[in-house]
Amino acid sequence: MKRWYGKLLGFFAGAALLRGNPLLGAALGLLIGHAFDSDWFKLARDNPYSVLGLTSDANDAEVDQAYRRLISQYHPDRLAGAARELREQAETRAREINGAYDRIKALRKR
């Protein structure tokens, strides 16, 4: 477990907010704190690994393989004869994939 402070803050905030039933408040606070600590509220686009369908412990070969697989699937040139909306969605998805791959490569150079 990486983070713990969300649970602690949630426990005390929930107990303080529901003074009539502090145990219920503390339990709700713990649940919300756990969600915060587990990054449930974090968007997928904030994590470049999740865009590629990987975890952060993936090696370079796995990152390259996932990138090649996804970009070959969503490359806009592959959908040249498709409807305009479909091409736009493919362009957006290809931009996300390229951005995630670039962010991973930049993070690993440090």
Residues 6+ apart with CB under 8 A from 105: none
For each of the domains in the chain, give its residue range(s) and CATH number, in order of start: 5-37 (no CATH), 44-109 (1.10.287.110)
Q: Tally the C-alpha atoms within 13 A of residue 103's C-alpha that lie toward its C-beta.
A: 15
Query: pLDDT by residue (tens digit) across 62-100?
Result: 999 999 999 999 888 888 888 888 888 889 999 999 999
The verdict on pTM exceeding 0.85 is no
The strand ranges marked E within 63-103 are none
Query: pLDDT by residue (tens digit) across 30-52?
Result: 788 877 777 666 655 578 888 89
